Amino acid sequence: MFITFEGGEGCGKSTHAKMLKDYFELFQKEVVLTKEPGGFKNNLRKILLDNDQSLEALSEIFLFAADRVEHVEKIIKPALSAGKIVISDRYIDSTIAYQLGGRGLPEDMVRYINWISSRGLLPDITFLLDIKIEEGLQRTVERGVMNRFEKEIMAFHERVKEKYMDIASKNPQRIKVIDTYRSIDEVQREIRGFLKI
């Protein structure tokens, strides 16, 4: 099973991905918890998130794509082939939300690059954690140094959120929108409810 978590800045994806891994492990399931960018250790994550780096939107999408090829080929596919559950914090829907929605790159191109970089591998289920933009950004401020995306203007984050909601409404079978305006335990319970163990 291949599960992904998606959402805007500070939505709590990493916390829920980790909690879900712990839950599966209670049932003796083998789980690989991974993330993008940087699921397969390389310097691309640093380049992509570095505040001092100015990147053209086109260079940015190519670097995310390269990072994903490495991730899919070296981490995700081998784990799935070995019968493990893979949980990834961000995957193809981030590219749609951020590079298509946020940056405004052409749709056909973004979808094609996503198709190539993911080798056509779609998640079985995706949890899109919904949070108010201001609240999420506030959390990232509290965490400390903000990355290149967290520092983007409000309109950028609004476009990202709008695109996320758009793809969720078009893929209701795969993408489950999870309301996070509740306790962490309630949110996690809803997530687990979608999974058969």
Give min distance, CB of 72 to ligand TYD, in A.
12
Closer residue to ligand TYD in complex, CB, 29/55: 55
Nearer to ligand TYD, 154 or 197 (CB): 154
- Interface with ligand TYD (CB under 6 A), residue from 1, 47, 49, 69: 49
In the complex, what is the shortest distance from the CB of residue 70 to ligand TYD, in angstroms, rounded to a whole number? 12
- Which three-class secondary structure string do you get for 143-186? HCCCCCCCCCCHHHHHHHHHHHHHHHHHCCCCEEEEECCCCHHH
Under rule CB under 6 A, residue 6 binds ligand TYD: no
Residue type, 180: T
Binding status of residue 36 toward ligand TYD by CB under 6 A: yes
* Shortest distance (Å) from residue 114 CB to ligand TYD: 8
Q: Three-state secondary structure along 80-128?
A: HHCCCEEEEECCHHHHHHHHHHHCCCCHHHHHHHHHHHCCCCCCCEEEE
Minimal distance, residue 83 CB to ligand TYD, in Å: 25
Separation of alpha carbons 67 and 87, rounded Å: 17
Query: Which residue ranges make up the site for ligand TYD (CB under 6 A)?
Result: 9, 14, 36-37, 49, 64, 89-90, 94-95, 98-99, 147, 149
